[in-house]
Amino acid sequence: MVWFYLLSGLFLGWSLGANDAANVFGTAVGTRMVKFKVAAFIASVFVIIGAVVSGAGAAHTLGKLGAVNALGGAFTVALAAAVTVSWMTKLGLPVSTTQAIVGAIVGWDIFAGVLIDTKTLTKIVSTWVICPILTGAFSFVIFKLTKALLKFAKIHILELDLYTRCGLLVIGAFGAYSLGANNIANVMGVFVTANPFKDLNVFGLFTLRGTQILFLLGGIAIAVGIYTYSYRVMKTVGSDIFKLSPIAALIVVLAESLVLFIFASESLERLLIRLGLPTIPLVPVSSSQAVVGGVIGIGLARGGGRAINFGILTKIFWGWILTPLTAGIISFFSLFFMQNVFQQKVYEPVTHQITDTVLQKLEAEGVKNPFLDSLRGRIFHNSRKLKYYLKLKSNLHWSEIDKVIEYSLVDSMMIDSNVAKVELKPNWFTEGQIEAVKRLHGTVFAHRWQLADTLQKLSPEWRFKPKKRENRAYNKDLAAKYQKIFHIFRLSRIRKEEEFEGGTHSKGTA
């Protein structure tokens, strides 16, 4: 069943390859500077490398939007996005896979009763505006600089043709790497929370993490999509919107690749933090929107936009609007059928309970309200019901309501030192952090914050530093470590593994 569920993610990967590869090599193939088979091979190789090596950053942000916590739900969400993208691809439209998966995840959030992370959603949606504008600006500036440079250099036309072809191949490879790094989150991001794979040591040379195995499978699916069905969309991007010269095609791919890389690179983010500069959010952006923005930038630079085919652009823009709406609707109704007709679990219930321990934690955080005492022992079966009830019945501030929701979440975890020894890698976790976890062997925690508070008491290496710019990289890394231990010690995940493997797991003592 695990492999069956993953089929929808592989289908979505195929759809992304069929549609979004055009955004890397469409301009090169459309101008006939690179043969389709050559472009497909290079794109396939580098999109897989980018997915495995650098795919984690954008996937983390997508997970915040909706942590799809059951394989049945992840299957349905990915399938809804894949059907939407495939339909648009059949129409020859370079639509956004990012928009499709975001729409499908929001559909799952609504169906499962999970609160939509509006901050993350706003961050992602804002890139739908920023991405094409930024790419268009890059394209405009690079075109002007290239034009001035060529006028000064006076390169022979045959040499220029050779340099352009080589540039298209090199920059196309960089673009494919950036596409894999940024957009693999769209393909396999929904499976990360319910990931069935464990770390795999490859001949003692290197270790593939469970998420990297997911991304590898997704990257291969993208490569198959590139080979089998991407030519039609490449033609739309490469020649229908605006007639590009070979050099203009090179500039569009470069501008798009830079934008995709900027929004996916954790290394760049850490560098900006060290330099004390504002960081760029790591989110899966739309390569389709990026390349269209790049083509428009060239059109504006060359003639003020007079030669741009606005009829094609209007059709593409409508596709961008309809894509998230369609994916969200398909996702919601498909989840209903999966749960009620096919009897498949599409989400793990998220329970909130107001206990004495929770009330004490809230009071320590400055949230003291007589109304909360009246909820002692009350159970809410999803976060949306709890938030609605608190907004309706209490006079709590919205920030206080968020704290009640956060601290009352029941997410049981059991610490096992044997699991810690295997899962907590010393090349990431410090010795002090690992030892603190091992000391809790056999302890069961009902809430995430209880485990975090206990670890912080046991070791200063589990404590966050003050919220200053120079501490952002450290705190972000520490937050990722907490998410790792929440995942590997989560009781619901352990039980699912036992059912899947038919084995037993060390239970410890509460």
Q: What 3-state class would DSSP assign to 177? A: helix
- Using pLDDT thresholds of 50, 70 and 90, give the confidence band for residue 509: very low
pLDDT, tens digit, for every residue of 267-301? Answer: 887 788 777 777 787 888 888 788 888 888 988 88
- Using pLDDT thresholds of 50, 70 and 90, give the confidence band for residue 57: low
Count the Cβ atoms, other than its own, within 10 Å of residue 278. Answer: 7
Name the one residue in this structure whose structure tokens are 């939407």.
Answer: 84
Name 44's Cβ contacts closer than 8 Å, sequence gap at least 6. Answer: 17, 176, 222, 223, 226, 227
- Using pLDDT thresholds of 50, 70 and 90, give the confidence band for residue 328: very high
Q: What is the pLDDT of residue 510?
A: 34
Q: Which helix (H) or strand (E) holds 446?
A: none
What mean pLDDT do residues 334-346 have? 92
What token pair was written down for 12? Answer: 């979505």
Helices (H), 189-245: 210-229, 231-235
**Where are the domains positioned within the chain?**
2-340, 351-410, 413-501
Any idea what DSSP says for residue 469? G
Are the CB atoms for 354 and 348 separated by under 8 Å? no
Quote the distance between the C-alpha of residue 355 and its chain's center: 34
What mean pLDDT do residues 338-353 have? 90
What token pair was written down for 42? Answer: 């290079």
Are the CB atoms for 454 and 445 separated by under 8 Å? yes
The answer to which of 115-124, 281-290, 447-456 has the lowest mean pLDDT is 281-290
Q: Whole-number mean pLDDT of the chain?
A: 84
- Using pLDDT thresholds of 50, 70 and 90, give the confidence band for residue 506: very low
The answer to which of 69-83, 286-300, 333-347 has the lowest mean pLDDT is 286-300
% of the chain surpassing 90 pLDDT: 35
pLDDT higher than 60, residue 230: yes
% of the chain surpassing 70 pLDDT: 89
pLDDT higher than 80, residue 45: yes
Sort strands 351-353 and 206-208 into parallel, antiparallel or unpaired: unpaired
What mean pLDDT do residues 62-68 have? 76
